[in-house]
Amino acid sequence: MSWTLKRKAQALLAAEEGAVRKDWGGKVSFALVYPNTYAVGMSNLGFQTIYRHLNAIPDVVCERVFLPDPGDVDELRRTGTQPFSLESQRPLTDFHMVGFSVTYEGDYVNVLRLLGLAGIPLRTAARRPHDPLVLMGGVCAFSNPEPLAPFMDFIVVGEGEELVVELLAAYRDAYRDREEFLGALTAVPGVYVPERYEVSYAVDGTIADVKALGGAPAVVAKRRLRAVDAFETIATVKTPRAEYGHMALLEVGKGCGRGCRFCLEGQVYRPVRHRSLDALRATVAALARQGETRVGLVGACVSDYPWIGELLRAVEDAGMELSVSSLRADSLTADLVGALARGGHRTLTVAPEAGTERLRRTIRKAITDAQLLEACDLVRASGIPNLKCYFMLGQPTEEAEDVEAIPRLAERMLARLRVLDPSGRPFGRLTLSISSFVPKPWTPFQWAPFDGAESLAAKLETVKRGVRSFASVRVLHENPREAALQALLARGDRRVADFLELAAGHDGDWRRALREWDGNPAHYTTRARTTDERLPWDHFDVGVRKPGLLREWERALADAPALAEAP
């Protein structure tokens, strides 16, 4: 093992509070892997929650593994060191199970890179009896796991707080060999065993059928947590090296009732389940007793929490400062913005998503320009110096006017923000964060085509050119080619696994892999889907009904009938 990397891991552990160290004797060992950097993984509440719940099982030891930093990969190879766990520095191959928590499609390649660095065969068909069982969970596991399916022994479909207990009990009680155990797992609700499903394709490249084998269910139903108060979702391991390491993160509930037509989270976490005010008060009080000084509220739409005013008072009464990531402009209140200002917030973030009210109505985010300007007034009155706005390019029915309206709206907001607040403080900066629309499964826009990297780049240039003369406006944006990769992986089927394997073999160089792959990316990205096409994720049930999605899709297209026909 590399002593350089071991010392680095020990330094990370030494800076933490709350890590779990358990003796391995007689226990089922579980490597919980976040396929991105330590800083990103340790800011993920789902990852932290499963870590805590697994270690709460007496005969289970769970340890964390992260993607090595870029400079550490050469050191791993030079010294023949496998990726290893943080807690005991054991290699991945020492564990009974290797579970990946996958939140972003962009991390798919990292999953395979980690397996490759560990010497674990990538494809399930090539695994040997002594290899660990490889699984995945996280939101990607129940949106569309098919591009990763050939690499996974099984997949946890849904919210895992209860399911992990059942999973480990099944392993402890029933494991004799790999095939027997995987066969038994097909009977566990919420567990998907990809090798028990045979996919066939039509002449035009679409999916013809998915046939369940060996007693596996024809449709795998997502597990959802009903009693959210029974499972506290907080960051239990604190580290200054996480992206949000300066605060205690606290989830206020699961799901969002707004129904934005582009939003995956708003669909797959239905029904909306809020943690009770009493439960959150108890958690806030416990955090205060532990010496926490700042709490970050997490949820799909925190400002929609029904008892947000009372929760704000609970946080302030506990002597803690408040932080929230993004807020709905139409649910902002003076009390909420004031609490954020008193908590030291220097930037307030809202998400208009589109430059015109027409397009906002189409995507079912009916925020008016007037409400956005009122949000500017609240920001100024509170003394928060900066405002950040999320916009998305390439959405269905978008026209040139919608893109050109973004700089015009920014100009109006900037004029409102430049009005001096009562204390005479000048405004700081307006930031436009521009992303590219990617059609996601389980949303009304799952049939829409991806706009294409070149078209998105041209639209992005329109926005940047439109605000170039505004000294106080900054534009942040992703690379549209990265969005094209996300579209391929979000909408792909099992044939995309070949591309992922190529990219992993080239140390994550997915551009080179795309050039070498004999598949057709446009088949998955810029091609519009007909509403009668079988989609790669149709053998899952995540609680979203296709007739409802289709109805919303047709409503969105009402003003642009040409988009309703596939090319």
What's the pLDDT tens digit per position in 168-196? 988 988 788 888 899 999 999 999 999 99
- State yes or no: cis peptide before 521, omega within 30 of 0: no
Query: CA 36 to CA 30: how far, in whole Å?
Result: 18
Residue type at position 280: L
Question: What is the CATH architecture assignment of 326-564?
Answer: 2-Layer Sandwich (3.30)
Does the structure show a pLDDT above 90 at 258? no
- Asked if 431 and 389 count as a contact pair (C-beta separation under 8 A), the reply is yes
**Lowest model confidence (mean pLDDT) among 94-98, 141-145, 213-217, 377-381:** 377-381
364 conformational bin, left if phi > 0, alpha if psi -120 to 50, beta if neither: left
What pLDDT does residue 564 have? Answer: 38
Does the structure show a pLDDT above 90 at 428? no
3 state DSSP class of 559: helix
Does the structure show a pLDDT above 70 at 424? no
Euclidean distance between the first and the last CA atom of the chain, given in angstroms as a whole number = 55
Does the structure show a pLDDT above 80 at 42? yes
What pLDDT does residue 404 have? Answer: 98
- 248's CB contacts (< 8 A; 6+ apart) are 234, 235, 238, 287, 292, 294, 295, 296
User: Which burial class, exposed, middle or buried, applies to 535 when counting CB atoms under 10 A from its CB (0-12, 13-18, 19+)?
Assistant: buried
| Cα angle: 502, vertex 508, 513; to 5 degrees | 35
Nearest CA among 349, 502, 359, 496 for reference residue 433: 349
Query: CA 371 to CA 368: how far, in whole Å?
Result: 5
User: Which burial class, exposed, middle or buried, applies to 518 when counting CB atoms under 10 A from its CB (0-12, 13-18, 19+)?
Assistant: exposed
Query: CA 37 to CA 68: how far, in whole Å?
Result: 7
- HEC profile of 154-165: EEECECHHHHHH
208 φ/ψ angles, rounded to the nearest 5 degrees: -90, -40
What pLDDT does residue 565 have? Answer: 40
Which CATH code is given to the segment(s) 3-207?
3.40.50.2300
Query: CA 410 to CA 389: how far, in whole Å?
Result: 9
What pLDDT does residue 561 have? Answer: 39
Complete DSSP assignment for 453-464? HHHHHHHHHHHH
Which of 111-120, 251-260, 295-304, 307-316 is modeled with the greatest confidence? 111-120
Element spanning 432, H or E = strand 429-436
Confidence of residue 131 (pLDDT cuts 50, 70, 90): very high
Domain positions in the chain are 3-207, 326-564
- Asked if 51 and 86 count as a contact pair (C-beta separation under 8 A), the reply is no
- Asked if 13 and 48 count as a contact pair (C-beta separation under 8 A), the reply is no
Element spanning 73, H or E = helix 70-79
User: Average of pLDDT values for 293-303?
Assistant: 87
Residues 367-397: tens digit of each pLDDT = 999 999 999 999 988 889 899 999 999 999 9
Residues 510-565: tens digit of each pLDDT = 999 999 999 999 999 999 999 999 999 999 999 999 999 999 999 999 865 344 34
Radius of gyration for the alpha carbons in the chain, expressed in angstroms and rounded: 24
